[in-house]
A and B are shown apart, each in its own frame.
Chain A
Amino acid sequence: MLTLLFDGVAYGMLLFVLAVGLAVTLGLMNFINLAHGAFAMAGGYITVLLMNRAGVPFLACLPLAFIGAGLLGAALEPTLYRRMYARPHLDQVLFSIGLVFMAVTAVDYVVGSMQQNIQVPAWLQGRFDIAWVGIGRYRLFIIVVCAVLALALQWVLVRTRFGSRLRAAVDDPRVASGLGLNVNRIFLATFVVGSGLAGLGGALGAEVLGLDPSFPLKFMIYFLIVCAVGGTTTITGPLLAALLLGIADVMGKYYVPKLGAFIVYTLMILILLVRPQGLFARAGAAR
């Protein structure tokens, strides 16, 4: 029971790191980016290919996955994404679905459609027991890394100058740019970091979530749930939503495997019915 809870937390933390970049994109530019999973997949494949073909150690791959996915974001944001911010949501949806299709087939073409496996280092394998709670080492590692990241993000957002600029831009981009903030540059920076985090999440999750070319399609709904349920105005909202989703998914799949993913989807629809702005959104926050 507690082991399941632990696994759920690990899964939730992973989802948070994967989805937090999407929350920023949604909150800052009101842009529906269905292609967010493609950046995560990029990070995952960078790790897999570096480890299996070049023999790079796992820990060294993680920052490389972050940098690789971030660079991809830095290349795409000014060239493609920036044109889409002012467009209707339908255009954004079509555009990002197009990107997803391209990413899925491109990876299929280059690497092949089979499931990729990574071998985590020996000191991360296996599990140990604390007070009859089985704790997987790798899952503990995920929780620690993601918790550190979440704390760091919260610190940047609340305590630094960049954080206050970012929050100003999220709350009201027009006024923020009227006050002399370069909203475009703030957004480029956040987009790059968000893509990088997705890449890191993809690298961490390759072992837990599985990695094959359909990754962006399979997990798209999960990222969207985290953002839609958590709201996009804070870090804590998506974090709590991701934890809730992770725990509900793991528990649901263990106790009632027949029901499969129903629980998560039904829960999402119900929550969105009651709170269309998300579970943890500030009341009256501008959308």
Chain B
Amino acid sequence: MSAQASAALARDARWRGWELATLAALPVAWLLLPGQALILNEIAILALFALSLDLVLGYAGVVSLGHAAFFGLGAYTAALCAKLLTPDPWLGLAAAVGATALLGFLTSFLILRGSDLTRLMVTLGVALILYELANKLDWLTGGADGLQGVAMGPVLTPFGAFEFDIGGRVACAYSMALLVACLLLVRQALRDNPVRAASIGLSVHARLIVAYTIGGAIGGVAGALLAQTNGFASLDVLDFHRSAEVLLVLVIGGTGYLYGGLFGAVAFKLLHDLLSAWTPQYWNFWIGVFLVVLVIVGRERLLRPWSWGRR
């Protein structure tokens, strides 16, 4: 390895000030905004979901229109696990990670070949198949009514057991802890990857499979968190809207870097709350307008107003 490359690696590995500030902002927000715990919980879940899409889109370059497949599978696995096996959240989470990682691993072989269009269709097709499954297997999933009455046990930690409360403080802390854990994990994995890739000779296929599997598993974590903190899983978690929404979240925040999903989730939730307070039924229209304007102005430029004057 050349000196330049190792210097670049060392630079990538170092913690920068704004990274630490971003991570520190999460517990601070939890402490300072106890009344907003439910919203913060939603933001953390959305950020995790966007992070998982970022691995697939930003790092592996797969345009996916069916990322809700992982979110939904994670949500249903966690909810079913709580309902049929054990109310322990950690075990439910582990089951969701296992199921979605397996799905990611298996479906990654479907997207190794083909153009963007083919991949788009295959990812969309997988999500649609899961949606149909959840719809038709109503003895297991509750069908269109959703899976109701999921009772969660307390979160067991070294500091004691915490019951999920009505205000969502525990749920929020639980989600944020997992968000930080996943961010650290992905940061580590991305830092290690170039070394390994360089030493074994870059294998595009292997990278894609790994990225898709890990991306899928993190999407599963996000889905499981939603099901566990809300005690509910419905067909909505597999809907096309969710796949499109997370794409928008990630694009707002910026693809291809670790914190894009987090920033995008914060911005999207604020935008969403603003719009739905103003026009509760038709906020989707303005999301559509926003998407079109975003693309026409240029994804990179919208968030950098100082570059608007330049050509």
List the interface of chain A (C-beta within 8 A of B).
Answer: 26, 32, 80, 83-84, 87, 89-91, 93-95, 97-106, 108-109, 217, 221, 224-225, 227-228, 258-262, 265-266, 268-269, 272-273, 276-277, 287
Contacts and interface: CB of A to CB of B under 8 A. Distances in A.
B114 interface: yes
A259 B70 CA distance: 21
Contacts of A87: 295
B113 to A, nearest CB: 5
Contacts of A266: 129
Contacts of A106: 285
Contacts of B114: 272, 276
Contacts of A287: 115
B118 to A, nearest CB: 5
A93 B110 CA distance: 20
Given A93-B120, A102-B285, A105-B284, A221 B128 contact: yes
B284 A104 contact: yes
B116 A224 contact: no
Contact of A32 (B120, B288, B295, B299): B120
Interface stretch (B36-44, B160-168, B179-187, B240-248): B240-248
Contacts of B133: 262
Given A83-B296, A99-B288, 11 more contacts: A84-B295, A98-B292, A101-B285, A105-B282, A108-B282, A221-B121, A259-B136, A266-B129, A272-B121, A273-B110, A276-B115
Contacts of B198: none
A227 B121 CA distance: 11
A105 B283 CA distance: 8
A102 B132 contact: no
Interface centre among B116, B132, B135, B288 (most CB of A within 10 A): B288
Nearest to A273: B110
Contact of A94 (B110, B124, B136, B291): B291
Contacts of A268: 121, 125
A90 B118 contact: no
A93 B125 CA distance: 16
Contacts of B118: 228, 272, 276
Nearest to B298: A91
Interface residues of B, number: 42
A228 B288 CA distance: 25
B210 interface: no
Contacts of B282: 105, 108-109
Contacts of A277: 115
A32 B285 contact: no
Nearest to A103: B288
B217 interface: no
Contacts of A97: 244, 247, 288, 291
9 contacts: A32-B120, A83-B296, A95-B295, A101-B288, A105-B288, A269-B110, A276-B114, A277-B115, A287-B115
B122 A269 contact: yes
A98 B295 contact: yes
B133 to A, nearest CB: 8
B226 to A, nearest CB: 22
A115 B120 CA distance: 29
A201 B290 CA distance: 29
Given A89-B116, A225-B121, A272-B122, A101 B287 contact: yes
B240 A217 contact: yes
Nearest to B287: A101
In the A-B complex, the 7 residue pairs with the closest CB atoms: A98-B291, A101-B288, A276-B114, A102-B288, A105-B285, A98-B292, A89-B116
A228 B124 CA distance: 13
Given A95-B295, A228-B118, A260-B132, A102 B248 contact: no
Contact of B128 (A98, A261, A272): A261
A109 B247 contact: no
B292 A93 contact: no
Contacts of B240: 217
A235 B14 CA distance: 56
Contacts of B135: 260
Nearest to A100: B288
